[in-house]
Amino acid sequence: MDQVPGSPKEPQDARDDDGLPGCHRHPDRPSGIRCTRCDRPICPECMVSASVGFQCPECVRGGAGTGHAPQAAAPRTIAGGTIAADPRLITKILLGLNAAVFVAVLATGGDLSPLVNRLDLLGLAADPSRYQLIGVAEGEWYRLLTAMFLHQQIAHFAFNMLSLWWLGPPLEAALGRLRFIALYVLAGLGGSALSYLLAAPGQPSLGASGAIFGLLGATAVLLRRLNHDMKPVLILLGINLAFTFLWPNIAWQAHVGGLVVGAAVAFGMVHAPRDRRTLVHAATCAVAFLAVIAVVWVRTLQLVG
Protein backbone atom coordinates (compact mmCIF):
# COMPACT_ATOMS: atom_id res chain seq x y z
CA MET A 1 0.00 0.00 0.00
CA ASP A 2 1.32 3.45 -0.93
CA GLN A 3 1.72 5.89 1.90
CA VAL A 4 0.71 9.48 1.48
CA PRO A 5 3.56 11.90 2.39
CA GLY A 6 2.88 13.67 5.61
CA SER A 7 0.40 11.11 6.87
CA PRO A 8 0.42 10.16 10.58
CA LYS A 9 1.98 6.82 9.67
CA GLU A 10 5.25 8.45 8.43
CA PRO A 11 8.24 7.72 10.72
CA GLN A 12 9.61 10.67 12.68
CA ASP A 13 13.22 10.00 11.60
CA ALA A 14 14.24 9.16 8.06
CA ARG A 15 15.54 5.60 8.05
CA ASP A 16 17.72 3.59 5.69
CA ASP A 17 17.23 0.01 4.59
CA ASP A 18 18.62 -1.24 7.92
CA GLY A 19 16.11 0.81 9.90
CA LEU A 20 18.66 3.23 11.32
CA PRO A 21 17.62 6.90 11.54
CA GLY A 22 19.56 9.48 9.57
CA CYS A 23 21.72 12.12 11.26
CA HIS A 24 19.59 15.20 11.97
CA ARG A 25 22.24 17.36 10.28
CA HIS A 26 23.09 14.89 7.49
CA PRO A 27 19.92 12.89 6.79
CA ASP A 28 21.65 10.68 4.20
CA ARG A 29 23.99 9.26 6.87
CA PRO A 30 22.36 6.55 9.03
CA SER A 31 23.52 6.41 12.62
CA GLY A 32 22.72 4.44 15.72
CA ILE A 33 24.21 7.11 18.01
CA ARG A 34 22.07 9.80 19.60
CA CYS A 35 22.98 13.04 21.37
CA THR A 36 22.89 12.49 25.13
CA ARG A 37 21.20 15.90 25.59
CA CYS A 38 18.57 16.26 22.88
CA ASP A 39 18.35 12.58 21.81
CA ARG A 40 18.63 13.44 18.12
CA PRO A 41 20.63 11.02 15.91
CA ILE A 42 24.16 12.17 15.05
CA CYS A 43 26.72 10.82 12.59
CA PRO A 44 30.45 10.44 13.36
CA GLU A 45 31.22 13.85 11.86
CA CYS A 46 28.81 15.55 14.24
CA MET A 47 29.77 13.66 17.39
CA VAL A 48 31.39 15.73 20.13
CA SER A 49 32.87 13.60 22.89
CA ALA A 50 31.39 14.31 26.32
CA SER A 51 31.93 12.93 29.80
CA VAL A 52 29.09 10.51 29.10
CA GLY A 53 28.41 9.54 25.49
CA PHE A 54 28.38 12.05 22.63
CA GLN A 55 26.65 15.36 22.01
CA CYS A 56 25.66 17.21 18.86
CA PRO A 57 27.33 20.54 17.92
CA GLU A 58 24.18 22.55 18.67
CA CYS A 59 23.99 21.31 22.26
CA VAL A 60 27.70 21.89 22.81
CA ARG A 61 27.47 25.47 21.52
CA GLY A 62 24.37 26.16 23.57
CA GLY A 63 25.69 24.64 26.77
CA ALA A 64 22.24 23.10 27.30
CA GLY A 65 21.72 21.41 30.62
CA THR A 66 25.32 21.78 31.80
CA GLY A 67 25.14 24.94 33.88
CA HIS A 68 28.25 26.21 32.03
CA ALA A 69 28.65 28.93 29.48
CA PRO A 70 28.90 27.84 25.83
CA GLN A 71 32.57 28.91 25.65
CA ALA A 72 33.41 26.51 28.47
CA ALA A 73 33.66 23.69 25.92
CA ALA A 74 36.10 25.63 23.71
CA PRO A 75 39.66 24.29 23.50
CA ARG A 76 42.22 26.04 25.69
CA THR A 77 45.96 26.64 25.67
CA ILE A 78 48.29 25.06 28.23
CA ALA A 79 47.79 28.17 30.39
CA GLY A 80 44.01 28.17 29.98
CA GLY A 81 43.84 30.89 27.34
CA THR A 82 41.50 30.85 24.36
CA ILE A 83 43.03 29.51 21.17
CA ALA A 84 43.09 32.42 18.70
CA ALA A 85 42.80 32.25 14.93
CA ASP A 86 45.92 34.43 14.60
CA PRO A 87 48.52 33.47 17.24
CA ARG A 88 50.74 36.36 16.16
CA LEU A 89 48.32 39.26 16.56
CA ILE A 90 49.71 40.72 19.81
CA THR A 91 53.27 40.15 18.62
CA LYS A 92 52.46 42.12 15.45
CA ILE A 93 50.92 44.93 17.49
CA LEU A 94 54.00 45.14 19.73
CA LEU A 95 56.23 45.18 16.66
CA GLY A 96 54.09 47.96 15.23
CA LEU A 97 54.29 50.05 18.40
CA ASN A 98 58.07 49.72 18.58
CA ALA A 99 58.39 50.54 14.88
CA ALA A 100 56.11 53.59 15.20
CA VAL A 101 58.17 55.03 18.07
CA PHE A 102 61.41 54.30 16.21
CA VAL A 103 60.17 56.08 13.08
CA ALA A 104 59.02 59.02 15.23
CA VAL A 105 62.51 59.26 16.76
CA LEU A 106 64.17 59.19 13.33
CA ALA A 107 61.73 61.80 11.98
CA THR A 108 62.43 64.20 14.86
CA GLY A 109 66.20 64.14 14.78
CA GLY A 110 67.45 60.64 15.51
CA ASP A 111 70.06 60.76 18.26
CA LEU A 112 69.14 64.41 18.87
CA SER A 113 65.39 63.78 18.96
CA PRO A 114 63.62 65.47 21.89
CA LEU A 115 61.49 62.33 22.20
CA VAL A 116 64.49 60.43 23.56
CA ASN A 117 64.95 62.86 26.44
CA ARG A 118 61.23 62.74 27.20
CA LEU A 119 60.71 58.97 27.02
CA ASP A 120 63.94 57.23 28.07
CA LEU A 121 64.46 55.70 31.50
CA LEU A 122 66.15 58.23 33.72
CA GLY A 123 66.38 58.07 37.49
CA LEU A 124 67.13 61.69 38.40
CA ALA A 125 68.93 64.40 36.46
CA ALA A 126 68.84 68.13 35.75
CA ASP A 127 67.36 69.33 32.48
CA PRO A 128 69.16 72.56 31.48
CA SER A 129 66.55 73.41 28.86
CA ARG A 130 63.78 73.46 31.45
CA TYR A 131 65.84 74.41 34.52
CA GLN A 132 64.37 71.59 36.58
CA LEU A 133 64.97 68.04 37.76
CA ILE A 134 63.53 65.26 35.66
CA GLY A 135 63.29 61.48 35.95
CA VAL A 136 61.34 58.74 37.64
CA ALA A 137 62.28 60.08 41.07
CA GLU A 138 60.54 63.34 40.14
CA GLY A 139 57.25 61.58 39.47
CA GLU A 140 57.81 60.70 35.80
CA TRP A 141 56.92 57.05 36.34
CA TYR A 142 55.73 56.74 32.77
CA ARG A 143 59.40 56.47 31.76
CA LEU A 144 59.45 52.92 33.16
CA LEU A 145 56.99 51.98 30.40
CA THR A 146 57.87 54.28 27.51
CA ALA A 147 61.54 53.28 27.60
CA MET A 148 60.44 49.75 26.67
CA PHE A 149 59.35 50.96 23.22
CA LEU A 150 62.18 53.41 22.57
CA HIS A 151 65.20 52.77 20.31
CA GLN A 152 67.80 55.07 18.79
CA GLN A 153 70.11 52.82 16.79
CA ILE A 154 68.81 50.71 13.91
CA ALA A 155 70.96 47.72 14.93
CA HIS A 156 69.50 47.79 18.44
CA PHE A 157 65.98 48.08 17.07
CA ALA A 158 66.47 45.32 14.49
CA PHE A 159 67.97 42.85 16.98
CA ASN A 160 65.18 43.35 19.51
CA MET A 161 62.42 43.12 16.91
CA LEU A 162 63.87 39.97 15.34
CA SER A 163 64.01 38.44 18.82
CA LEU A 164 60.41 39.49 19.49
CA TRP A 165 59.25 37.95 16.20
CA TRP A 166 61.06 34.71 17.01
CA LEU A 167 60.05 34.37 20.66
CA GLY A 168 56.64 36.06 20.67
CA PRO A 169 54.35 33.89 18.53
CA PRO A 170 55.04 30.54 20.28
CA LEU A 171 54.49 32.13 23.68
CA GLU A 172 51.39 33.99 22.51
CA ALA A 173 49.96 30.73 21.16
CA ALA A 174 50.78 28.84 24.36
CA LEU A 175 49.62 31.44 26.88
CA GLY A 176 46.82 33.23 25.07
CA ARG A 177 46.69 36.90 24.15
CA LEU A 178 45.84 38.47 27.51
CA ARG A 179 48.44 36.45 29.41
CA PHE A 180 51.06 37.17 26.77
CA ILE A 181 50.44 40.92 27.06
CA ALA A 182 50.75 40.69 30.85
CA LEU A 183 53.99 38.73 30.55
CA TYR A 184 55.55 41.19 28.11
CA VAL A 185 54.62 44.32 30.04
CA LEU A 186 55.58 42.94 33.45
CA ALA A 187 58.93 41.66 32.16
CA GLY A 188 59.66 45.05 30.62
CA LEU A 189 58.68 46.85 33.82
CA GLY A 190 60.82 44.44 35.84
CA GLY A 191 63.82 45.32 33.69
CA SER A 192 63.12 49.04 34.05
CA ALA A 193 62.69 48.75 37.83
CA LEU A 194 66.00 46.93 38.38
CA SER A 195 67.78 49.37 36.09
CA TYR A 196 66.28 52.27 38.05
CA LEU A 197 67.38 50.65 41.32
CA LEU A 198 70.97 49.79 40.45
CA ALA A 199 72.07 52.16 37.68
CA ALA A 200 73.47 55.63 38.32
CA PRO A 201 70.61 58.16 38.72
CA GLY A 202 71.70 60.23 35.75
CA GLN A 203 72.40 57.27 33.45
CA PRO A 204 69.67 57.02 30.78
CA SER A 205 68.66 53.70 29.24
CA LEU A 206 66.16 52.58 26.64
CA GLY A 207 65.07 49.63 24.54
CA ALA A 208 62.85 46.55 24.60
CA SER A 209 65.67 44.30 25.80
CA GLY A 210 64.20 43.81 29.28
CA ALA A 211 60.91 42.54 27.83
CA ILE A 212 62.79 40.39 25.28
CA PHE A 213 64.83 38.74 28.03
CA GLY A 214 61.55 38.14 29.85
CA LEU A 215 60.24 36.27 26.80
CA LEU A 216 63.47 34.29 26.69
CA GLY A 217 63.06 33.25 30.33
CA ALA A 218 59.40 32.42 29.73
CA THR A 219 60.35 30.25 26.76
CA ALA A 220 62.73 28.24 28.94
CA VAL A 221 59.98 27.76 31.56
CA LEU A 222 57.47 26.69 28.91
CA LEU A 223 59.84 24.19 27.28
CA ARG A 224 60.60 22.70 30.70
CA ARG A 225 56.88 22.41 31.41
CA LEU A 226 56.33 20.60 28.09
CA ASN A 227 59.39 18.37 28.62
CA HIS A 228 60.95 19.61 25.37
CA ASP A 229 64.66 19.83 24.61
CA MET A 230 65.94 22.94 26.38
CA LYS A 231 69.48 22.97 24.99
CA PRO A 232 68.82 25.49 22.17
CA VAL A 233 67.15 28.06 24.39
CA LEU A 234 69.71 27.61 27.18
CA ILE A 235 72.55 28.11 24.72
CA LEU A 236 70.86 31.22 23.35
CA LEU A 237 70.28 32.50 26.88
CA GLY A 238 73.93 31.90 27.78
CA ILE A 239 75.14 33.76 24.69
CA ASN A 240 72.88 36.71 25.40
CA LEU A 241 73.96 36.89 29.04
CA ALA A 242 77.60 36.80 27.94
CA PHE A 243 77.00 39.76 25.63
CA THR A 244 75.09 41.49 28.42
CA PHE A 245 78.08 41.53 30.77
CA LEU A 246 80.95 41.68 28.27
CA TRP A 247 79.69 44.17 25.70
CA PRO A 248 80.09 47.85 26.64
CA ASN A 249 77.21 50.29 27.04
CA ILE A 250 74.59 47.63 27.77
CA ALA A 251 72.16 48.06 30.67
CA TRP A 252 72.64 44.62 32.20
CA GLN A 253 70.23 45.51 34.99
CA ALA A 254 67.33 45.68 32.53
CA HIS A 255 68.26 42.32 31.03
CA VAL A 256 68.50 40.56 34.37
CA GLY A 257 65.35 42.19 35.76
CA GLY A 258 63.33 41.27 32.69
CA LEU A 259 64.65 37.71 32.70
CA VAL A 260 63.77 37.10 36.36
CA VAL A 261 60.29 38.63 36.17
CA GLY A 262 59.46 36.97 32.86
CA ALA A 263 60.50 33.53 34.09
CA ALA A 264 58.60 33.97 37.39
CA VAL A 265 55.38 35.12 35.71
CA ALA A 266 55.54 32.33 33.13
CA PHE A 267 56.11 29.74 35.86
CA GLY A 268 52.95 30.87 37.64
CA MET A 269 51.00 30.75 34.40
CA VAL A 270 51.96 27.30 33.12
CA HIS A 271 52.06 25.52 36.50
CA ALA A 272 48.80 26.86 37.93
CA PRO A 273 46.30 24.15 39.00
CA ARG A 274 43.59 23.76 36.38
CA ASP A 275 40.74 24.46 38.81
CA ARG A 276 42.36 27.66 40.13
CA ARG A 277 44.04 29.02 37.02
CA THR A 278 42.42 32.43 36.97
CA LEU A 279 43.14 33.07 40.65
CA VAL A 280 46.77 31.92 40.43
CA HIS A 281 47.41 33.89 37.23
CA ALA A 282 45.93 37.06 38.69
CA ALA A 283 47.90 36.60 41.92
CA THR A 284 51.14 35.97 40.02
CA CYS A 285 50.75 39.11 37.94
CA ALA A 286 49.71 41.15 40.97
CA VAL A 287 52.74 40.03 43.00
CA ALA A 288 55.07 40.80 40.10
CA PHE A 289 53.55 44.26 39.66
CA LEU A 290 53.70 45.00 43.39
CA ALA A 291 57.35 43.92 43.43
CA VAL A 292 58.06 46.43 40.65
CA ILE A 293 56.24 49.16 42.57
CA ALA A 294 58.17 48.31 45.75
CA VAL A 295 61.55 48.50 44.00
CA VAL A 296 60.67 51.82 42.39
CA TRP A 297 59.39 53.22 45.68
CA VAL A 298 62.51 52.20 47.60
CA ARG A 299 64.81 53.72 44.97
CA THR A 300 62.77 56.92 44.87
CA LEU A 301 63.10 57.30 48.64
CA GLN A 302 66.87 56.84 48.28
CA LEU A 303 67.12 59.59 45.66
CA VAL A 304 64.77 62.20 47.10
CA GLY A 305 64.84 61.34 50.78
Q: What is the largest CA-CA distance in the chain?
A: 105
Q: Is 146 exposed, middle or buried (0-12, 13-18, 19+ CB in 10 A)?
A: middle
Q: Give yes or no: 255 in active site.
A: yes
Q: How many CB atoms lie within 10 A of CB 171?
A: 27
DSSP structural state of residue 30: B
Options 7, 209, 228, 281, the catalytic residue = 209
Query: With contact defined as beta carbons under 8 Å apart, do 242 and 288 qualify?
Result: no
The beta strand positions in the chain, using DSSP E, are: 48-49, 54-55, 125-127, 132-134
Q: Give yes or no: 51 in active site.
A: no
Q: How many CB atoms lie within 10 A of CB 27?
A: 14
Options 31, 163, 205, 255, the catalytic residue = 255
Which residues participate in catalysis according to the annotation? 209, 255
